[in-house]
Amino acid sequence: MSTIDSGLQEQRPRILVVDDLYANRLAMRKVLATLAVEVVEAENGNAALAACIDNEFALILLDVQMPDMDGMEVAEILHGEESTRDTPVIFVTAGATDDMDRLKGYDVGAVDYITKPLNPPLLSAKVRNFIDHYESRRALRNALAELDERNSQLEREIEERKRAEDRAQQLATHDALTGLPNRLLFLDRLATSMQRARRNGTVFALGYMDLDGFKPINDEFGHGIGDITLQTIADRLVENTRKSDTVARFGGDEFALIFENVTDEKSSVAMCEELRLRLSAPISLPCAGGEGLRVGVSIGLAFYSGYDTNADRLMHNADRALYAVKHGGKGAVHVFRDADEDDAHVHGAQLHRHMR
């Protein structure tokens, strides 16, 4: 038999014929040979139950009177199993069956009766009817299975698209090297913090921070070590700030911080000094020897407490405060003062004269 013929054979509905007499099985086999079905035969109840374990049957033609285990017992067992509960059973009897026997047969799953000697046209018609129903059910089952698979595939595609969108959103709003929020997300967080401060009457601090002595690390050890240094600083920032705070990277060695719900200037400066010391701890890398790499940290602070300052002005003030630290010796925390604006103009004028 060719592979194609075998495939077609596998697709045919299976009929189980159960009878202890070979002559009866042969008679039913001849009738069923005219139909597009595959016939499986069993000579007793145990063989029938074993066949049902390995096969799905469209219909079972079951002899009622058999030794050891009669057809009623077989049908009752089949009706009690989930896998065979809905398999139709036609009882084949040797003679007329009274109403009580028929009721008992229906209780254990029989759907019809047929008597011996067999009437070939009648048997053929009954089997065709059940085969038609079986084929309809199988087609529906296959269609539902295909629909389930398409739904599952659609769900997978939706999930994959969502992951892709999440990745795109992550790339759009986070720094690729450190994973920290970038300037775009930081500005959104800053606007939210300002709204919350106005609504609740609270104060937050905006900090601008950069690293002291970072350029020599890049120059001496290369940008790969520089990147590791930045990642380490970013990790330390996250570890040493609150979840309610925001830590962002603006690029290079520049970072920005939002400290939510600060109480006063003194405690905020002390908090930033502690943060600065922890960030400045040695970074252990093989290229740096036993002492590790060291970078300093400078932080400029500006406070927001109401409606008198917009976002641009607040960021400008934090930038001026950081500028004052950098030009005052680095490695410190400085809070913005009005005088910082004047100092910045003086330094700018001096730089302009020097360039001339």
Domains along the chain with CATH numbers = 3-142 (3.40.50.2300), 183-355 (3.30.70.270)
Contact between residue 295 and residue 214 where contact means Cβ atoms under 8 Å apart = yes
- Which residues make beta-bridge pairs with 293? 283
pLDDT tier at 79 (50, 70, 90 boundaries)? Answer: confident
Cβ–Cβ under 8 Å, residues 191 and 204: no
Q: If pLDDT is split at 50, 70 and 90, which confidence band does 113 have?
A: confident
Beta bridge partners of 89: 60, 110
Please write the tens of the pLDDT for every residue from 248-267: 999 999 999 999 999 899 99
Among 135-139, 251-255, 292-296, 340-344, which stretch is predicted with the lowest mean pLDDT?
A: 340-344
- Give the model's pLDDT for residue 342: 62
pLDDT in tens, 134-148: 888 888 888 999 999
pLDDT at 317: 94
Mean pLDDT for 307-313 is 83
Question: In degrees rounded to 5, what are phi and psi of residue 204?
Answer: -130, 160
Q: How confident is the model at residue 59 (pLDDT cuts 50, 70, 90)?
A: very high
Query: What's the pLDDT score for residue 268?
Result: 95
- With a pLDDT cut of 70, the percent of the chain lying above it is 89
- Nearest-angstrom CA–CA distance, 120 and 101: 24
DSSP symbol at 271? H
117 upstream amide cis, omega within 30 of 0? yes
Report the pLDDT averaged over residues 165-172: 88
Which of 139-143, 209-213, 299-303, 347-351 is least confident? 347-351
Q: What is the pLDDT at residue 185?
A: 95
pLDDT reported for residue 98: 54
Kindly provide the residue ranges of all beta strands, DSSP E only, lying in the chain, ordered along the sequence: 14-18, 38-42, 59-63, 89-93, 110-115, 204-212, 246-251, 254-259, 296-304, 333-335
Residue 212, pLDDT > 80, answer yes
**What is the pLDDT at residue 100?**
58
For residue 1, pLDDT over 70 is answered with no
Task: Please determine, for residue 63, whether its predicted confidence score (pLDDT) is greater than 60.
Answer: yes
pLDDT of residue 233 exceeding 90: yes
- The pLDDT of residue 36 is above 70: yes
Give the SS3 label for residue 40. Answer: strand
Helices 120-173, 22-32: axis angle to 10 degrees equals 70
Give me the pLDDT at residue 177, please: 94
Q: What pLDDT is stored for residue 289 in this prediction?
A: 66
Could you tell me the strand order of the sheet in which 89-93 lies?
A: 38-42, 14-18, 59-63, 89-93, 110-115
If one compares 260 and 2, the residue with the highest pLDDT of the two is 260
Question: Residue 159 and residue 196: Cα distance in Å, rounded?
Answer: 34
pLDDT at res. 5: 44
* pLDDT number for residue 95: 65
**Alpha-carbon distance 276 to 140, whole Å?**
69
CB–CB of 185/306 below 8 Å? no
